[in-house]
Structure 1
C-alpha cells in the first residue's frame, strides 16, 4: 500500500476517481499541507506543477492505502506528463507529520507561471480535463504513456469539441436517454485523429428500436474554415496542399485547392481560429468575418464539426503565410477573381466541399459585401 500527496488536478475528486477506477467512498482522503513548497500553473499548459518555495505551504490531499494497481494507473496518467514519484513529509490538520509520496515534474520539463488555484482550474478546465482523461485511460495497456503524451494536444481538442457538442440545444423530437441505447463502446485507435466504435440501437420512425448495429466514427475535433475575399477587387484567395487522407483513399489528385482551414484549440473561439489560420496559412489579416454555416461535413463517417466563414480582407496586403513548418504544413496560395472561382465550381474542378459551400454562399451575398465596401 502507498500513501500519496496530490497537489494539483488530481485533487479534483471526479478526476481522481476516474483515473483510479474507484468511487469516492472507497478512498481514504485527508486535507494536508506540504511545507516549503508551492503550486504553480505551467506556462502554456492547463495543469500545474509543484516546486520548492521556502516559507510557503502547498495545499493538497493525502490519499492513503493505494494499491499497486492504483499506482500503475497513476503512473500511466502522470507518466504521460513526465512526472515521477518522490518521498516527502506532509502535515495533517492536527500538526502531525507523516510520510508520503508525490509526483514531481522532471527538472526543467516545465516553466512555472502564476500561483495555481484549484477552484479556478475546475471552473475553467475541469470538464475538459475529465473528458480528456476518459480517452487517455481507455488506452491503458494498449498505448504507452510516452506515446499517449504525443496525442495529448489532439485529445484535448477532441474533448473541447465534445463539450461544445454537448452544449448545443437538444432535438425536441428525440429523447436520447430513451431513443439511443449503447450496448458497447470501444476506443479503437488514438493518434492525431481517433477512431471510436459503438454497438447501439436507435429508435426507428415506427417507434420500435433498431437491431444492434456496429458503427465507427473518425474523431478530429472542431475546425474553422475561412475563404479570404477582397470585395473591392472581387477576388478570393485559395491555398493548395497535399492531403494524405485523399491519397490514402486512392485519389490521384491529392493536392487540394481549399480555403484556409485549421483545427480549433481548446479555449479558442471559431472566429479566433479563423483569423489565426488566415495569418499562418495565407499571410492575410481578416477585417471582418461573415458566417457561412457551421455543420458536420460528413455526418455518416466523421465527427468533425466545421465553422465556415468568408473573411473580408485586403488581398493587396499579404505578409507571410505558407503554413507552420513545425506542423509539417507546406502550402502555396493563389488569388483569383470571383468569376474564375465560380467557373471552377461549375466545372467541378474543386474537390473540397467547404470550398464549394463557401463559394456558393459568396455568390449569394457578393453584391451586399461589395456595396458595403464601396
Structure 2
C-alpha cells in the first residue's frame, strides 16, 4: 500500500472526504514533512512546498488507501500540475517514506507561511463546491479536459456560494420555501465543457399545499456575470461595445454582431465590482470612476443559471476614446462606439438594440441620467 502525505487544503477533512469519495473514519494521522516549508503562492489560495533544511510542513499521512482513492487524489491534484514524489515524513517519533504531491512547474512562492485556519475561514466553502464539481467528472473526463474547465468550475463555485448566501427582501411576496419543499429525485450532468448542462428530476411544493408530480428539467449552467454601461455625465454620452455572438448565429440571425454594454463573467475570488472594473479595462480600455449598481437579476431563469449584476459606470468619454479592445487570449474581438444620449434613446425606441441587459440598463439610465450629473 502507498502512504500519501497531504498538506495544505487537503488537511481540511470535509474537502478530503469529497476527494476520496467517502467519510473518514476516526481522525487522520497527523504528520510533518521533513526539510520543507508550506508557503503561500502569489495570487492563489492554495500553498506550495519549498525545500528548506531543518524545516517542517504540517500535514496528514493517509495510509491503506485503495487504488481507486489514489486515482481520485491524482485526478483532483492533476489540473494543478501536481504529481507524486517520494519524501520523508515524521509520524510521532518514527520516520517514514511517503508520497507527496509536488508541482511539475515552478510556482511563484512568497515567504509567508500558509495558514489552514485563515484559508478555511475565507475559502473552504467555495473550494468544497468546486471539488464536488471536479470529482463528479472522475472517470468521465481526462485530466486534460478537466484542466480546460478549471477556471469555469471555480467561477461556477463562487456563483453557487453567492446564490446560497442570498436572502429574501422585505416585502417580497413570493413563496418562502422551507425544508422538504423541493425534493431532488435525481441529478445528472450529461455535458460538461466550458459550460455545463444538468438534468434534474424533482418534485416541488405547489401553491395548494401539495407536491407536484416528478418533473424533468434541463438547465444550462453558467456563472454569474456583470455588465457595465459606461456613461459620461458631462458629455452626456455612453459607450457601447460590438462583438460577434454565437447565440444569434445558431438561431439563424442574418447579423450575429451584437451591440452591448461591457460584460463578462465574475472570476473565482472576485467581487462583482472588481469584475466590473476589470472588464471595462479589458473590453473598452476605460477606467471607471464610480459604479452605480442596478438590481441584480436572472437573465433566463426558466433554463439558465446565469445571474447578472448590472452597473452604470461613471467615466470620461472624450472624442476618440472608442477603439478596439478585448482579451485576445479569450478570443475577444471588440469594437467600441460613442453614442450621444438622444441617439441612444432612439436606438432603444427603434429596436436597434437586441441585447436585454443593455436595454434594461439603458432604460434605467434614460430615467435617471440627470441625477448622475453631480457624481464627481
5+ long unaligned stretches in structure 2: none
| Post-superposition offset of 1:281 | 0.9
Distance 1:38 1:310 in 2: 46
Q: Is the 8 A contact 1:84 1:105 kept in 2?
A: yes
Distance 2:330 2:114 in 1: 30
Does 2:6 align with 1:6?
Answer: yes
1:256 is matched with which residue? 258
Spell out, residue by residue over 1:244-303, the C-alpha distance to the aligned partner (whole angstroms, 9 max, x if none). 232223222211000001111222221121111111111122112112220001111111
Does 2:244 align with 1:247?
Answer: no
Which range is displaced more, 258-267 or 354-363? 258-267
Distance 1:42 1:167 in 2: 28
Change (3 A) 1:185 1:176: farther
1:129 is matched with which residue? 127
1:80 is matched with which residue? 79
> 331, 335, 338: which is aligned to 1:335?
338
SS in 2 for 1:66: coil
Spell out, residue by residue over 1:113-140, the C-alpha distance to the aligned partner (whole angstroms, 9 max, x if none). 2321111111121111110010011011
SS in 1 for 2:3: strand
Spell out, residue by residue over 1:332-352, the C-alpha distance to the aligned partner (whole angstroms, 9 max, x if none). 010011111111111111111
| Post-superposition offset of 1:373 | 5.6
SS in 2 for 1:224: strand
Q: Is the 8 A contact 1:239 1:333 kept in 2?
A: yes
Q: Is the 8 A contact 1:28 1:64 kept in 2?
A: no
Aligned-residue Cα RMSD (Å) equals: 1.8
2:153 is matched with which residue? 155
1:112 is matched with which residue? 109
> 271, 274, 299: which is aligned to 1:272?
274
SS in 1 for 2:64: strand
Does 2:24 align with 1:36?
Answer: no
2:137 is matched with which residue? 139
2:240 is matched with which residue? 238
Distance 2:105 2:154 in 1: 25
Change (3 A) 1:199 1:176: farther
Spell out, residue by residue over 1:171-197, the C-alpha distance to the aligned partner (whole angstroms, 9 max, x if none). 883334221100001122222222112
5+ long unaligned stretches in structure 1: none
Runs of 4+ in 1 over 6 A off after TM superposition: none
SS in 1 for 2:347: helix
Distance 1:353 1:71 in 2: 48
Change (3 A) 1:177 1:321: farther
Does 2:48 align with 1:49?
Answer: yes
Q: Is the 8 A contact 1:9 1:118 kept in 2?
A: yes
Distance 1:7 1:123 in 2: 17
| Post-superposition offset of 1:320 | 6.8
1:324 is matched with which residue? 327
1:188 is matched with which residue? 190
**Correspondence 1:269-348 to 2 at 5 A:** 269-316=271-318, 318=321, 322-348=325-351
Spell out, residue by residue over 1:144-173, the C-alpha distance to the aligned partner (whole angstroms, 9 max, x if none). 122101111110100000000000115883
| Post-superposition offset of 1:319 | 8.4
Distance 2:97 2:27 in 1: 15
1:168 is matched with which residue? 166
Distance 1:105 1:135 in 2: 22
Per the normalisation by structure 1, the TM-score is 0.94
| Post-superposition offset of 1:63 | 1.4
Per the normalisation by structure 2, the TM-score is 0.94
Distance 2:27 2:274 in 1: 44
Which range is displaced more, 211-220 or 350-359? 211-220
